[in-house]
Amino acid sequence: MLPQHSSQIFRLTAIFSMIFALIGFSYNVWRMEVTEENATVRNAAFEVLKEIAELELIVYTAHYDKDIVTGNPRKGWVKVGLIQDLALLMPQDAQQAATNIKMVWQDNWADMSNHNQSAMAIVDSLDEARAQIRLVVASLE
């Protein structure tokens, strides 16, 4: 049988070992969740940036080249919808930027081929969203 003093040291060691194990496990789980969330936001941000670039190409092709095939507004509507869907995986500011793209697109898509002001309003909303998404990516841990 262990002496009283050795028994107390053994119990304290066991208790501290359990506490440190729980703390370590908890931190590891938290860190993995943060890493996964950051990866999701980062992937969504890159996809949104690609879709913004493609939407910008549609606007420029419709406005400057007067190409109704490549600059087809129906393609633009698909891009706008995809941007909004992907933005749901990002912080509120990026979601608001995506909503702004949709509102500006909705107000200007019909005139983007013939009116510089409409085309530039869409491009400006895309530039604002692009800047907001860059801030989101830069703020990730």
The pLDDT score that the predictor gives to residue 42 is: 95
The pLDDT score that the predictor gives to residue 2 is: 52
pTM (2 d.p.)? 0.83
The answer to whether the CB of 45 falls within 8 A of the CB of 133 is: yes
Distance CA 77, CA 140 (A): 30
Q: Degrees (nearest 5) of the Cα angle 68, 69, 73? A: 65
Distance CA 72, CA 61 (A): 9
* Regions of the chain where pLDDT drops below 50: none
Q: What is the dihedral of CA 64, 69, 74, 78, to 10 degrees?
A: -90
What share of the chain has pLDDT > 70, as a percent? 97
Which ranges in the chain belong to alpha helices (H)?
A: 4-60, 73-87, 92-108, 116-139
Distance CA 76, CA 84 (A): 12
